[in-house]
Chain A
Amino acid sequence: MLKAENLSVYYGAYRAVADLSFEVGQAELVTFIGANGAGKSSTIRAILGLADRIEGEIWFDGQNLKNVPSHERVKMGIRIVPEGRKIFPELTVLQNLQMGAYFIKEKARFNRNLDWVSELFPILIERKNQLGHHLSGGEQQMLAIARALIGEPKLLLIDEISMGLMPIAVDKAFELIKQVNAEGMTILLVEQNAKKALTVAKRGYVLETGRIVLQDTASNLQQNPLIKKAYLGG
């Protein structure tokens, strides 16, 4: 479903990501793990066409994404939960959700999706007329997830879902990822919390300073002594 070949991402002359090749299959849940600055967010942003300059190829649904602008990629079904939530601060919760479903024209379909995310996150509907910046950090993270889900992603890119959530909410978020993946949604999950990520993912890639140094099934990565030491805390 998603495939990258020799992907490099540049900031000016600085190459943040070098020669990445990876693949995410239909209905697969794949994770990228790596330390701060490894290039995880840069890669995610490149998939959505938000990077300044890239080299290499990205394919989605059999189509080469070269020269496809971001808004067309979103139209094709790629959605993102961005790093740092990025809620529109002066829009209401409901308007933020409308932004997530910008390409859904039919009112009935939007309402159906809205009912679904309100079941997942009842708090958001209680606050639907509040401005984004009046929500707490954790509530904003829930809104960021809901805003991505309401747009019916075919491929969901998640840049750190656990950020700012209390432990029980982290568990719930991972539970949710697992559930929507089981229902057929393809997910690429970037996580600091490698332990959690490897429990839900099928496969994982390990990034170090912009390069993939290891790729394996999640269960093998969990057993790998090097990974244990570097990312799983012992």
Chain B
Amino acid sequence: MLQQVVNGIIIGSLYALIAVGLTMVYGILRILHIAHAAVFVSGAYLGLLVYTYTQSLILALILAAVGCSIFGWLIQRFLYTPLLTEARIVPLIASVGLFILCEDLFRLLGGPYIRAFKVDLWFDKLIFFDTVVTAHQCLIVIGTAACLVSVYFLINRTKLGLAWQATAQDMDTAKAMGINIKQVINFNFIIASSIAAIAGVLTAINYNSVLPTMGSVPAYKMFAIVVLGGLGSIPGTIAAGLIIGMAETIMSAYFGFIMPRDAIAFSAMILILIFRPQGLFGKGV
């Protein structure tokens, strides 16, 4: 049981990392940024590329974050910003289109097969009684915690973070207070894309694989997670990521015969939409 909880936390924290970016983008632009999953996959490929050449995990994480920030910023600048005045479905469709296009690009550039992402850490695993925590799992927990603490710090303890919160609550008034909205949007996409990149690298390490379609399950699952957490709520999204990761792991270990693993997030989403549409932690939209 404890082993399943550990595995659940690992999966859940990776989900949380991906979904936080989605919720941040929604919070400011009110766009469902499905192409965020493409940013996540490009993070995994970039990380693998850098790691293969340098054998440095730190460098792989940093360069993947930088590369993905640029990618995310480009999406914002050239896809979303021109479409902001259109009906909300238009940028959503554009986002889905870009995601599909990117999957094909990854296939063309990276090859249609699975690439291994094997990282050697300085220890192998920790064993507490009969619970095994691998070194890779430790890495994921530390990496996730570091990312989430940084996001918390940036949002709650910096001036730009305050402007971010104000803009998410009321963009028009934030403008009237003298906030440079473009700067807030850039800040938003840099944070969201950086942590998606880190999530991509960590996920690749966790499964020891990078493949063109590794974004498709997260693409729809992150959607379920942000609905569960309350669209736009960062703490809600983190909690929802952990809950889904945990529920999936435990249910598939003990009740795997009832429904397939990936259906769990969606059953939760449907129940939430019916009974509590503002999300478990949301305050209503």
Contact = CB atoms under 8 A, between A and B. Distances in A.
B179 A88 contact: no
Contacts of A99: 162-163, 166, 174, 177, 179
Nearest to B85: A52
Contacts, number: 59
A73 B178 CA distance: 8
B169 A102 contact: no
A80 interface: yes
A50 B162 contact: no
Given A91-B165, A102-B163, A50 B175 contact: yes
Interface in A73-89: 73-75, 80, 82, 86, 88-89
B180 interface: yes
Interface residues of A, number: 23
Interface string B261-278: 000000000000000000
A100 B177 contact: yes
Nearest to A73: B178
A90 B165 contact: yes
A70 B178 contact: yes
B222 to A, nearest CB: 23
Nearest to A103: B178
B166 A91 contact: yes
B26 to A, nearest CB: 15
B120 interface: no
B173 interface: yes
Contacts of A100: 177
Interface in A88-105: 88-91, 95, 98-100, 102-103
A71 interface: yes
Interface in B150-189: 159, 162-163, 165-166, 169-170, 172-181
A48 B176 contact: yes
Contact of A88 (B166, B175, B283): B166
Given A88-B166, A90-B165, A95-B162, A102 B179 contact: yes
A196 B113 CA distance: 76
Contact of A98 (B162, B172, B176, B180): B162
A71 B178 contact: yes
Contacts of B178: 70-71, 73-75, 102-103, 151
Interface of B: 159, 162-163, 165-166, 169-170, 172-181, 283
Q: Closest 6 interchain pairs by CB? A: A74-B178, A86-B173, A71-B180, A99-B177, A71-B178, A70-B175
28 contacts: A48-B176, A50-B172, A50-B175, A69-B180, A70-B175, A70-B176, A71-B175, A71-B180, A71-B181, A74-B178, A75-B178, A82-B173, A82-B176, A86-B176, A88-B165, A88-B166, A88-B169, A88-B170, A88-B173, A90-B165, A91-B166, A95-B162, A98-B162, A99-B163, A102-B159, A102-B177, A103-B178, A147-B177
